[in-house]
């Protein structure tokens, strides 16, 4: 009993001191880890940019297991962190359990758009629109007419990526063949570069000469093998063009960094609700820098940019995998 009392006292003291100081934002990385060169790293980049610009600091945790999700949320909420930014679709259930208990805390979740809560800012990305553009670039860069897609864990989100990509490929070359593989069905599929390499080799042997990897850490193996074997690859989430300069055609950018930066900048005033960031909001796009300038010809750039404008204006409709859980042009 005395132990419980002292614990509660300590918690109360922490809550008070946290209330007195300016609330720090907190960032919870998903299982892929902070430095996955992709999704989570983009969040870290955005947070770091906020910290550098404002001189502020933020709390962070890298989840190691599923069981830690709710625990991490509650610990940050108890400690008075605000807003609490979480990464990944798997946070949906823990967050909908925890958020009602802390009505004064603002939560931000990336890749979740379907839960209820007045204090949650839910950010979705129109990945299919960005993937459509890199699909077009892939089809234009491909000489064999066969392109590949390698997903990480087989979840609807990754199929969503693949579906947009396939539509982009077909828009340029209706006869193109698309080979799509998933690395696995467990979270280990985000961190198995050896399997990524083997899948890449398998797709190359089936004729693929441009391969788009949406697979977290597994994608490192895909990009490496593609570079070794002399074909082109497409990175995802962060700009991965620099990993193998001249060998990575482009990267599908998902501006998680901007989303996290904006949320931290807004601080306690972050606006709750559901937001989907697409091409129009610059939430997604494709990367063009010195590393891939020679690979993207002016014609390719013009075609992609005009498709971008048409998607924004609504002249081109990219079908989302979520609409009826299937893809019109690709069977998984």
Partner 1 sequence: MMDLMTLIPVLDSTIRLSTPLLLACLAGLFSERAGVFDIGLEGKMLMAAFFSAAIASVTGSVWLGLLAGIASSMVLAGLHGLASITFRGNQLISGVAINFLAAGITVLIAQHWFHQGGRTPSLIGAGRFSPIELPLAGPLSGVPVLGPVYSDLLSGHSVLVYIAFLAVPATWWVLYRTRFGLRLRAVGENPAAVDTSGVSVVGMRYAAVAICGLLCGIAGAYLATALQAGFVKDMTAGRGFIALAALIFAKWRPWHAMWACLLFGFLQAVALRYQNIDIGGVVIPVQVMDALPYILTVVILAGFVGKAIPPRAGGEPYVKER
- Residue located via tokens 């933020």: 58
Q: How many residues bind partner 1 (CB under 8 A)?
A: 27
- Residue located via tokens 């930014």: 85
Residue in 250, 187, 183, 257 with CA at minimum distance from that of residue 222:
183
Q: CB 224: neighbour CB atoms within 10 A? A: 18
The answer for residues whose C-beta is within 8 angstroms of residue 58's C-beta and 6 or more apart is 24, 25, 26, 27, 47, 50, 51, 264
Helix (H), strand (E) at residue 124: strand 120-125
Q: Using the rule CB under 8 A, which residue among 33, 94, 130, 148 binds partner 1?
A: 33
3-state secondary structure of 118: coil
Residue in 143, 145, 135 with CA at minimum distance from that of residue 167:
135
When the beta carbons of 179 and 270 are compared against partner 1, the nearer one is: 179
Q: Using the rule CB under 8 A, which residue among 11, 35, 104, 315 binds partner 1?
A: 35
Give the shortest CB-98-to-partner 1 separation in angstroms. 27
When the beta carbons of 82 and 183 are compared against partner 1, the nearer one is: 183
When the beta carbons of 10 and 194 are compared against partner 1, the nearer one is: 194
Question: CA of 22: how far to CAs of 18, 37, 121, 269, in Å?
Answer: 7, 31, 20, 13
Identify which range of 11-19, 28-36, 95-103, 166-174 contacts partner 1 by CB under 8 A: 28-36
- Helices (DSSP H) in 232-297: which residue ranges? 256-266
Give the shortest CB-129-to-partner 1 separation in angstroms. 26
When the beta carbons of 105 and 225 are compared against partner 1, the nearer one is: 225
Give the shortest CB-38-to-partner 1 separation in angstroms. 11
Q: Using the rule CB under 8 A, which residue among 41, 60, 111, 209 binds partner 1?
A: 41
Contact code string over 188-227 relative to partner 1, x by CB under 8 A: x--xxxxx-xxx-xx--x-----------x--xx--x---
Q: Using the rule CB under 8 A, which residue among 6, 185, 268, 297 binds partner 1?
A: 185
- Residue 74 CA, chain-centre distance (Å), reads 24
Give the shortest CB-192-to-partner 1 separation in angstroms. 5
Residues 43-82 that bind partner 1 (CB under 8 A): none
When the beta carbons of 142 and 224 are compared against partner 1, the nearer one is: 224
* Burial annotation 136-154 (CB, 10 A radius, 16+ → b, else e): bbbbbbbeeebbbbbbbbe
Residues 238-267 that bind partner 1 (CB under 8 A): 243
3-state secondary structure of 218: helix
When the beta carbons of 177 and 301 are compared against partner 1, the nearer one is: 177
Q: How far apart are CA 123 and CA 228, in angstroms?
A: 37
Give the residues lining the site for partner 1 (CB under 8 A).
Answer: 33-36, 41, 181-182, 184-185, 188, 191-195, 197-199, 201-202, 205, 217, 220-221, 224, 228, 243
């Amino acid at each position: 009993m005395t132990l419980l009392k002292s614990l509660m006292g300590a918690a109360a003291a922490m809550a008070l001191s946290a209330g007195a100081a300016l609330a720090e934002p907190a960032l919870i990385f998903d299982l892929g880890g902070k430095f996955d060169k992709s999704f989570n790293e983009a969040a870290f980049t955005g947070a770091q940019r906020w910290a550098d610009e404002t001189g502020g600091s933020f709390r962070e945790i890298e989840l190691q297991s599923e069981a830690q999700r709710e625990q991490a949320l509650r610990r940050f909420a108890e400690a008075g962190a605000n807003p609490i930014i979480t990464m990944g679709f798997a946070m949906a259930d823990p967050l909908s359990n925890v958020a009602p208990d802390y009505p004064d805390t603002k939560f931000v979740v990336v890749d979740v758009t379907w839960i209820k809560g007045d204090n949650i800012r839910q950010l979705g990305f129109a990945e299919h629109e960005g993937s459509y553009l890199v699909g077009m670039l892939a089809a234009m860069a491909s000489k064999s007419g066969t392109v590949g897609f390698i997903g990480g864990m087989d979840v609807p989100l990754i199929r969503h990526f693949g579906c947009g990509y396939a539509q982009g490929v077909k828009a340029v070359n209706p006869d193109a063949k698309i080979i799509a593989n998933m690395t696995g069905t467990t979270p280990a599929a985000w961190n198995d570069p050896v399997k990524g390499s083997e899948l890449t080799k398998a797709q190359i042997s089936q004729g693929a000469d441009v391969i788009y990897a949406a697979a977290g850490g597994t994608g490192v193996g895909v990009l490496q093998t593609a570079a070794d074997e002399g074909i082109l690859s497409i990175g995802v989430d962060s700009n991965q063009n620099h990993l193998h300069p001249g060998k990575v055609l482009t990267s599908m950018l998902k501006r998680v960094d901007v989303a996290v930066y904006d949320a931290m900048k807004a601080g306690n005033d972050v606006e709750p609700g559901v937001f989907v960031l697409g091409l129009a909001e610059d939430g997604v796009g494709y990367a063009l820098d010195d590393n891939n300038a020679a690979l993207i010809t002016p014609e390719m750039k013009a075609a992609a940019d005009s498709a971008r404008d048409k998607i924004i204006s609504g002249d081109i409709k990219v079908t989302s995998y979520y609409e009826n859980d299937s893809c019109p042009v690709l069977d998984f």
